[in-house]
């Protein structure tokens, strides 16, 4: 998915939101917005938004003089989500279909996002909603079949906090299929509230899956940029669970049937792109099917 | 009031909204947004937002190749508001305080705005709300005294549609004080859905007050730019009713006790600037008092 007009607005809004974590006064809030406008003047609109975010957040970080503006928020939401861990595990154990239940919880965790248009959210209400209400299961059978056959499973992580629910999903897969090799690819460094190596280790996901750093400082995943172990792991994966909007915005530019997108729609551009409403629950294979959603 | 970080976002959003009146596709929506970003790169942030809007809307117009993108919308809302005219006049006639009631209705009319952050609005509900609910009347006595003493009354118009309620306010003033000279200053040309000469004549306000063109293509009023008859009329006014947010954003940079601001707060920047909530009803003299609001 490529940059749309609304993304310009959104990038500036992200600059303001990041600055607000540290400042309230007009001058301090103006500066990062001005810097982002400078970046936006020359962007290539044929790229997916997360590839622009790389420059936008680089500028915000520089303008704020802070390496990881969301450090505290990431820690806070990891802690909040960790409190749900026992509850989630026991719910999954009691579920008729543990895999599907774990997918639902992982989807609910995607509400934790500080880079989207969602102004405020309730994790509790989202879990309740996502667990109870219908989910389009057209691709669930395909996913289960692909998963059964797979040797290597890769989860592309998205946000801190959310990562706890992804850990539980991977744990569920491990219990169902103990022989599979599980991997999780995290961001190459601090970008918004996305999961970096530090967050992955903090929530102990390394006990379930091998953690790999994408080497990319973008809130998405761009296969062409992958190098070294990340490249090998991604290319050799039999099935990829792509969490979150940023990974969708990037990977939707590639046709790759190994990839299953799992996210909540959190911005009007993606909503319009898929012809669905904001907060729609998405679980689709990256093939011609999701293109049909747009028809 | 000067440009704040959020204004950058808002200018882009205005480009998108104007373009959406004619196009739905990504490419057509991108172009005006890109052009506005180019403008925003070099703006002077010490100016009030309406002075930037001049360039922003100039670019939008050029990019769309349409001289007056809001032409149809202005006509539509003039027609909608005209349907309220008889009702409004009879309500005012029956009111305990016709002047105050006319001010309330003029305030309600300010909800009709396509350049603000207000996504959608109901004129009917707003009239109901503004007529029934409390209004800070601290400055109403000052206004009435100033009005009684005044020879020349100037109303700085804001939006099409809203202008019908301003016409009714001026009509009420004329009935109470038949000897006063009444003037209305409209925008110098098409800018958003602001009142231009055409709209003023369309709703017949020229039968009540002398209509003057500001000569300025900005959605506000900047006294230093006034020339000719507009300059003479504005300078010789004994009392000025400044309708809408744009006129507040510009005139709040001047201390002028002849000016009474009458508007609904429709954006987070103005709300934050005055320390009030969005949709607060504002009726204040342009003196040290409104500065106190911010304390």
Contact, B97 vs B172, CB < 8 A? no
pLDDT (0 to 100) of residue A184: 98
A48: pLDDT strictly greater than 70: yes
**How far is it, in rounded angstroms, from Cα A156 to Cα B274?**
45
CB atoms within 10 A of CB B132: 8
- Closest CA relative to residue A92, chosen from A105, A103, A101, A82: A101
Nearest one of B262, B282, B111 to B173, comparing CA atoms: B262
Average pLDDT over residues A58-62: 94
d(CA B57, CA A165): 47
Distances in Å between the Cα of A274 and the Cα atoms of A116, A264, A281, A294, B47 are 16, 12, 12, 5, 40
Q: What is the ipTM of this complex?
A: 0.90
The residues, any chain, with a CB within 8 Å of residue B51's CB and separated by 6 or more, are B218, B220, B222, B250
Q: What SS3 state is found at A178?
A: coil
Rounded Cα–Cα distance for residues A161 and A200 (Å) = 10
* A288 band by pLDDT with thresholds 50, 70 and 90: confident
What is residue A115's predicted lDDT score, i.e. its pLDDT? Answer: 80
| Predicted pLDDT of residue A114 | 85
Quick one: pLDDT at residue A242? 98
Predicted pLDDT of residue A295: 56
Rounded to an integer, what distance in angstroms lies between the CA atom of residue A171 and that of residue B8?
A: 45
User: Over the stretch B172-231, which tens digit does the pLDDT of each residue have?
Assistant: 999 999 999 999 999 999 999 999 999 999 999 999 999 999 999 999 999 999 999 999
Q: Is A13 touching B (CB cutoff 8 A)?
A: yes
The whole-angstrom distance between residue A276's C-alpha and the CA centroid of its chain comes to 19
The per-residue pLDDT of chain B, averaged, comes to 94
Residue B152 · residue B180 · CB < 8 Å: yes
Lookup result for tokens 């990037």? A250
Task: Name the percent of chain B lying above pLDDT 70.
Answer: 98
pLDDT single digits (tens) A154-205 = 999 999 999 999 999 999 999 999 999 999 999 999 999 999 999 999 999 9
Q: How many CB pairs under 8 A join A and B?
A: 60
Confidence of residue A64 (pLDDT cuts 50, 70, 90): very high
Does B295 score more than 60 pLDDT? no
Interface of B with A in 26-45 (CB under 8 A): 26, 29-30, 32-34, 37-38, 40-41, 45
Residue B294: pLDDT band (50, 70, 90) is low
- Distance in angstroms (rounded) separating the CA atoms of residues A278 and A282: 11
Residues of B in contact with A37 (CB under 8 A): 8, 37, 40-41
- Chain B positions in Cβ-Cβ contact with residue A42 (cut-off 8 Å): none
Q: What are phi and psi of A31, to 5 degrees?
A: -55, -55
pLDDT interval class at B116 (50, 70, 90)? confident
Q: Determine the pLDDT at residue B286.
A: 94
Tokens describing residue A6: 């609304």
Find the mean pLDDT for residues B252-269: 95
Residue A294 confidence (pLDDT): 63
pLDDT, average across residues B36-46: 95
Indicate if the pLDDT at residue B263 is higher than 90.
Answer: yes
B21 lies within 8 A of chain A by CB: no
On chain B, the residues whose CB falls within 8 A of the CB of A40 are: 37
Burial class (CB in 10 A: 0-12, 13-18, 19+), B129: middle
As a whole number, the mean pLDDT across chain A is 94
Which pLDDT tens digit goes with each residue over A74-97?
Answer: 999 999 999 999 999 999 999 999
Residue B240 binned pLDDT confidence (cut-offs 50, 70, 90): very high
* pLDDT(B290) > 90: no
Residue B16 has pLDDT above 70, yes or no: yes
User: Nearest residue on chain B to A40, judged by CA atoms?
Assistant: B37
Chain B CB contacts of A16 under 8 Å are: 5-6, 9
Q: What is the pLDDT of residues A201-235, one digit of tens each?
A: 999 999 999 999 999 999 999 999 999 999 999 99
Query: Tokens at residue B83, please?
Result: 């349907």
CA distance B54 to B76: 24
Percentage of residues of chain B with pLDDT beyond 90: 89
Are A279 and A113 in contact, with CB atoms under 8 Å apart? no
Q: Decide if A158 contacts A250 (C-beta within 8 A).
A: no
User: What does the pLDDT read at residue B120?
Assistant: 83
Q: Both tokens of residue A123? A: 């994790």
Residues 6+ apart with CB under 8 A from B229: B212
Domains annotated for chain B, with CATH where assigned, are: 5-64 (no CATH), 80-293 (3.40.50.10880)
Mean pLDDT along residues B258-284: 94
């Amino acid at each position: 998915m490529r940059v749309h007009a609304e993304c310009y607005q959104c990038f500036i809004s992200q600059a303001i939101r990041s600055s607000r974590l540290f400042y309230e006064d007009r001058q301090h809030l103006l500066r990062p917005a001005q810097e982002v406008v400078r970046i936006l003047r020359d962007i290539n609109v044929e790229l997916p938004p997360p590839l622009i975010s790389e420059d936008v957040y680089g500028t915000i970080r520089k303008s704020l003089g802070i390496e990881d503006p969301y450090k505290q928020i990431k820690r806070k939401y990891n802690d909040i989500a960790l409190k749900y861990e026992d509850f989630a595990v026991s719910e999954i154990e009691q579920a008729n279909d543990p895999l599907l239940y774990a997918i639902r919880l992982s989807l609910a965790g995607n509400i934790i996002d500080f880079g989207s248009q969602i102004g405020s959210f309730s994790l509790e209400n989202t879990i309740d909603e996502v667990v109870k209400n219908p989910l389009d299961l057209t691709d669930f059978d395909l996913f289960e079949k692909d998963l059964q056959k797979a040797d290597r499973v890769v989860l592309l992580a998205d946000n801190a906090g959310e990562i706890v629910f992804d850990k539980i999903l991977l744990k569920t897969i491990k219990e169902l299929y103990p022989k599979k090799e599980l991997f999780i690819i995290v961001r190459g460094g601090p970008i918004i509230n996305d999961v970096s190596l530090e967050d992955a280790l903090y929530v102990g996901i390394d006990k379930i899956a091998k953690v790999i750093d994408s080497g990319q400082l973008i809130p998405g995943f761009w296969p062409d940029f992958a190098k070294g172990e990340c490249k090998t792991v991604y290319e050799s994966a039999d099935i990829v669970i792509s969490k979150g909007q940023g990974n969708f915005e990037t990977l939707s530019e590639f046709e790759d049937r190994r990839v299953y997108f799992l996210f909540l729609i959190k911005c009007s551009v993606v909503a319009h792109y898929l012809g669905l409403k904001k907060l729609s629950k998405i679980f689709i294979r990256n093939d011609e099917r999701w293109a049909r959603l747009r028809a």
